[in-house]
Structure 1
Amino acid sequence: MNAESVDSLRSRTLEQAYLFRHALLRDAAYQLQLPGDRARLHALAFVAIERQAGGRPPEPPPLHQPVPAPFRPHSADPFAQELAEHLRLGRHPGGLQPAAALSARKLYERRAAEHAERHLQPAAAELAWQRFAELSTGSEKAESLRRSGAMAALAGRRKIAEPLFAQALASFRAAGERRLEAKALADLATLLGDTGRVVEAEAAYAEAIAIFRGAGDRHLEGVTLRSLANLQTATGRIPEAERGYAQSLQIQREIGNRPHEGIVLGSLALLYQESGRIEEARRMQAEALAIHREVGDRRFEGIVLGNLAGLNVRAGRRDEAEREFELSINRLREVGDRAVEGITLGNRAILYKETGRLEMAERACEEALRIHREVGNRRFEGVTLGSLANIFWVTGRVAQAERIYEQALATHREVRDRRSEGVASGNLAQLLHGAGKLDRAQVLFEQAIAIHREVRNRRFEGLHLCELAVFRLSSGRAAEARETWLEGAALLRQLGDPDLALKTGEMREKCAAAGIIPFDGATA
């Protein structure tokens, strides 16, 4: 290390030490103040910050009106949470009497929540809506709880979100707020679907759609039809999902809602991808991308570019996928969507792994994990842990891979992500099979396939049936293995899944080693 580097390091260390000690001294000085003096300091801080931030924003329209008014940003928004806290701790800030101070605090708590939502900070928004709810009553309180639940769900905190949705739903029903009741039902339905309770989810979606239809709310009817179709896609009911997307698309086109038209097209593209219609999927994603660019929606442009990249990874178009991932991540960074940036980095790690760039794949997973933990996205933290375990496995670090798979499984169970739990269980079973831990491998294979059937994850049911067949063959149960493999291969064939060729090659190799005819009857 040269002298310049040493000086630079010393400078940074001194600066960090100053900042650390300054914060400690400031806190110590604050604690030495009498409670009354602290309250006066908070009042002074409130007045100074509000003035510097451009004054008080206007009163917003009611939070719980059936059709929400668009959010209008204000220069004070970045300071809203700090201003609300000074109001909570201050004494008569700016000469305000208690009722006026409470009203101002509500204003800033709400603006803090809406600002965090707008800047895609779900953890901060969740807490801000909870604080606003503590100051509210009736349907206003219920709507703030619903929005807090939506942010908790977005961050993967489903155990927190579910009771918030249930509380909001009960309040809206008691107040006869039908449209708001339907919004809470739709939110709850999404959570139920994500946690594997498919029948309950479908019932909640159907009830929400009926309410929106009865109220003449075409937009939210279309949005909820798309959400139901997403669930049907995820559970392998492709014809029903396709009809739902078509209905949703027709509604958005009838009412001229171009942004949501683009969103539905993107979802429909994922359905085509899931069912093996790769060229149709690519065409639909391109159409969705064109709409998002037309309306200037940089966030969804980034999301669709990431989806296109994932599509091209599966189709073997790796150069295109690489370019699209780069563009996607750049767009998401421009708009500050850290949550989706983390998801996209995790998906790019899969491309790096498949192209043999294992160190880059590992770094991409680690970066994605940092972001998931930063924004509180527990669901995708679990998904990315599974990807990292895959990398450890293929690089020969089997003990580390097993440990990380176990962490991924624990996370999936904690957030009740049944679909991902099934995937991780099957992958861990494969690893344990290779490591000779056969009893646990068999249990996990059976658990994985049961979960896939429960949530109707047909692709991974097919993949893991093929792996279970190889496991059974290695245990000397050739007839049982053949039946299992044919069942899995039939599922993959129906979906047009390109991994069937890989699984077929592995099966033939194992059959040759066992001295038996391949399960598909192929001969050399």
Structure 2
Amino acid sequence: MLRRPAARVQHITGRHRAPSLWRLDCTTSMHAETAYLFRHALLREAAYHLQLPSARAGLHALAFDIIESLHGGRAPEPPPLDAFDPPKFQPHPTDTVALELAEHARLGACTSGPQQQVGVTPALHRLYLRRAAEHAENQFRGETAARCWQALAEMEQGASQGEALRRGAVVLAKAGRDRDAEPLLHRAIAIQRESGNRRCEGMALANLAAVYHGTGRIEQAERASEQVIAISREVGNRRIEGTVQGNLANVYQQTGRTEQAERATEQALAIAREVGDRRSEAVALGNLASVYHETGRVEQAERANEQALAILRESGDRHFESTVLGNLAGVYHETGRIDQAERTYEQALAMHREVGNRRFEGTVLGNLANVYQQTGRTDQAERMHEQALAMHREVGNRRVEGVTLGNLAVLYRETGRAEQAERNYEQALAISREVGDRRFEGVVLGNLAGVYLETGRFSQAEPMYEQALAIHREVGNRRFEGVALCDYALLLLASGREGEARAQWRQGAAILRDFGDRAALERHTAAMRKACARAGLPPFDEAGEAENSSV
């Protein structure tokens, strides 16, 4: 631990007479300008506190008036917080000093006597506090925005108070702070129910459903989303109905109801286009791309992601643009365009950091780690997986925590740490079941079966492969169905069931070929040939079929 020099401490705090300001300056080696600023601030603060409270309020009122006039004058009054379909926030020159103006208005609002002519009132405090919140949101300063919304909520009543709390919660959730967002949303919902504002109640409940989903409480997320859809239809709020249909589609997709997920996403897309909500249209296209990707329709997934990106760039939505970029990178990765995938993941990562999106920053870190792992940068990959894991635990993202544990297990397995791999797979499997993630449950079962196969536990491996294949088929996960079939073929071959092994391997290879996953096909072809050579058998791909076929 570093310590201050003893002589200096004694000189300042010992039993000598108090040093002058100049002596303090010399002792602490301050620059002349810093010393001047320090003395100026000290004297100014002393002078301020010598004033009577009413005089101090007058100074703040005067400062408010001067700062406001230097920045284009009074900002326009915004629509009520609980307004239906309010216009987009319009910037004003005072926005850069809105937080400062709000504080001067707060401290100057108690002005009495002659200072009242300045006109500083609590209403101006509310005006600039709200503008400070909205400006901070637009600048991706989530902490500032959340504080301003919560402070504003304490000044409001009824539906406006509930809406200010909801807006603060949304900012926190975007920053990955679901635990902090949740109590604000519960308060907002209670206030809206008391005020009888069903529309705002539905909006807050929709945000709560998203928090439930993000923290792995899938059943609660589904129930809350269904309530929101009912409320939205009751009050005729098509925009929110469409948004929540998209969120519900994500729940369906995660829990293996792929056909329902696709239908709900298509409904969300249709509603977004009907009401002219371009951002929601882009979100729905991005979600539809995920359904296409996971069901093997890679070309459609790529096109849908590109359409979503074009809309988001047109509207300037950096927050969701970064998410779609990460999804598009996943398409590049799985179709063998590794360099393009890495560049796109890096762009997405930079953008997530820019907008303060901790939840998806962790997701992209994990995906980028997979690229490093695939390209032989194992040490970097392991460090990055560990960073991603810490981030998911920090924000309470249980589902992706499980995914990251599974990815780390793959790395441990590939670097000869079979026991660590098995432990990680077991943890990942427990989490996937806890959060109802059927798709990833199937992936982990297949990988854990692979560990059993490699360690000679054939009787445990076979039923686990069969479970994995059943889940992949149930949820429409074609890519991992192909992977599991190829791996299962190696177990059958090791058990002396050559005919079954050949049939399973060829079926799996055909799926990977159709999916366009060249890297996975090459890995499984190499493993199959090695196993066939050990068994003294010709390879299943019949003279290089996998190499010569177009992918």
TM-score class, shorter: 0.7 to 0.9
Task: Tell me the CA shift for residue 477 of structure 1.
Answer: 0.7
Letter in 1 for 2:431: I
Letter in 1 for 2:452: R
Match of 2:263 among 217, 238, 243: 243
Structure 1 residue aligned with 2:22: none
Task: Tell me the CA shift for residue 283 of structure 1.
Answer: 3.3
Partner Cα distance (1:395, 1:322) in 2? 10
3-state SS of paired residue (1:429): helix
Task: Tell me the CA shift for residue 86 of structure 1.
Answer: 2.2
Structure 1 residue aligned with 2:422: 442
More displaced stretch, 507-516 vs 176-185:
507-516
Q: Map 1:161-240 to 2 at 5 A.
A: 161-240=181-260
Task: Report the CA distance shift for 1:451/1:281 in structure 2 as closer, same or farther (over 3 A).
Answer: same
Structure 2 residue aligned with 1:75: 93
Are the equivalent residues in 1 in contact too, given 2:141–2:356 (CA < 8 A)?
Answer: no
Structure 2 residue aligned with 1:33: 47
1:135 matches 2:155: yes
- Scaled by the length of structure 1, the TM-score of the pair is 0.76
Are the equivalent residues in 2 in contact too, given 1:470–1:510 (CA < 8 A)?
Answer: no
The one-character-per-residue Cα deviations of 1:204-244 (angstroms, maximum 9, x if unpaired) are 00001101101112222112212211332344321111111
Match of 2:460 among 476, 480, 502: 480
Structure 2 residue aligned with 1:340: none
Are the equivalent residues in 2 in contact too, given 1:472–1:478 (CA < 8 A)?
Answer: yes
Task: Tell me the CA shift for residue 455 of structure 1.
Answer: 3.6
Task: Tell me the CA shift for residue 503 of structure 1.
Answer: 6.3
Structure 2 residue aligned with 1:45: 63
Task: Tell me the CA shift for residue 198 of structure 1.
Answer: 0.7
More displaced stretch, 183-192 vs 249-258:
249-258
Are the equivalent residues in 2 in contact too, given 1:157–1:377 (CA < 8 A)?
Answer: no
Structure 1 residue aligned with 2:389: 409
Partner Cα distance (2:135, 2:467) in 1? 51
- Scaled by the length of structure 2, the TM-score of the pair is 0.72
Partner Cα distance (1:21, 1:459) in 2? 63
Partner Cα distance (1:235, 1:20) in 2? 61
More displaced stretch, 438-447 vs 389-398:
389-398
Q: Map 1:60-99 to 2 at 5 A.
A: 60-90=78-108, 92=111, 95-96=115-116
Structure 1 residue aligned with 2:477: 495
1:418 matches 2:398: yes
Task: Report the CA distance shift for 1:18/1:137 in structure 2 as closer, same or farther (over 3 A).
Answer: farther
Are the equivalent residues in 1 in contact too, given 2:295–2:477 (CA < 8 A)?
Answer: yes
Task: Tell me the CA shift for residue 116 of structure 1.
Answer: 1.9
Task: Tell me the CA shift for residue 167 of structure 1.
Answer: 0.7
RMSD: 3.9
Task: Report the CA distance shift for 1:414/1:320 in structure 2 as closer, same or farther (over 3 A).
Answer: closer
Match of 1:276 among 296, 301, 319: 296
Task: Report the CA distance shift for 1:508/1:180 in structure 2 as closer, same or farther (over 3 A).
Answer: same
Match of 1:147 among 167, 181, 184: 167
3-state SS of paired residue (2:317): helix
3-state SS of paired residue (1:67): coil
Runs of 4+ in 1 over 6 A off after TM superposition: 16-23, 391-401, 512-518, 520-524
The one-character-per-residue Cα deviations of 1:61-104 (angstroms, maximum 9, x if unpaired) are 22123433442322211211111122234463993489953211
Are the equivalent residues in 1 in contact too, given 2:58–2:115 (CA < 8 A)?
Answer: no
More displaced stretch, 218-227 vs 437-446:
437-446
Letter in 1 for 2:451: F
Task: Report the CA distance shift for 1:385/1:118 in structure 2 as closer, same or farther (over 3 A).
Answer: closer
Partner Cα distance (1:433, 1:310) in 2? 22
3-state SS of paired residue (1:123): helix
Structure 2 residue aligned with 1:121: 141
Are the equivalent residues in 1 in contact too, given 2:105–2:120 (CA < 8 A)?
Answer: no
Task: Report the CA distance shift for 1:264/1:396 in structure 2 as closer, same or farther (over 3 A).
Answer: closer
Q: Map 1:371-410 to 2 at 5 A.
A: 372=353, 376-384=356-364, 386=366, 405-410=385-390
1:345 matches 2:363: no
Structure 1 residue aligned with 2:445: 465
Task: Report the CA distance shift for 1:84/1:435 in structure 2 as closer, same or farther (over 3 A).
Answer: same
Partner Cα distance (1:78, 1:186) in 2? 31
Letter in 1 for 2:305: Q
Partner Cα distance (1:490, 1:503) in 2? 23
Are the equivalent residues in 2 in contact too, given 1:489–1:500 (CA < 8 A)?
Answer: no
Partner Cα distance (1:22, 1:345) in 2? 45
3-state SS of paired residue (1:45): helix
Partner Cα distance (1:465, 1:411) in 2? 25
Task: Tell me the CA shift for residue 22 of structure 1.
Answer: 7.2
List runs of 5+ in structure 2 lacking aligned partners.
1-29, 480-516, 544-551
Identity across the alignment (%): 43
Partner Cα distance (2:418, 2:327) in 1? 37
Letter in 2 for 1:345: E
Partner Cα distance (1:433, 1:281) in 2? 31
More displaced stretch, 215-224 vs 143-152:
215-224
Partner Cα distance (1:482, 1:514) in 2? 20
Task: Tell me the CA shift for residue 457 of structure 1.
Answer: 4.0
Partner Cα distance (1:18, 1:277) in 2? 68
Partner Cα distance (1:390, 1:275) in 2? 21
3-state SS of paired residue (1:76): helix
Letter in 1 for 2:477: L
Are the equivalent residues in 1 in contact too, given 2:449–2:464 (CA < 8 A)?
Answer: yes
Letter in 2 for 1:452: S
Structure 1 residue aligned with 2:524: 504
Letter in 2 for 1:32: A
Larger radius of gyration: 2
Task: Report the CA distance shift for 1:319/1:441 in structure 2 as closer, same or farther (over 3 A).
Answer: closer
Are the equivalent residues in 1 in contact too, given 2:98–2:131 (CA < 8 A)?
Answer: yes
Partner Cα distance (1:514, 1:88) in 2? 80
Are the equivalent residues in 1 in contact too, given 2:528–2:540 (CA < 8 A)?
Answer: no
3-state SS of paired residue (1:54): coil
Structure 1 residue aligned with 2:131: 111
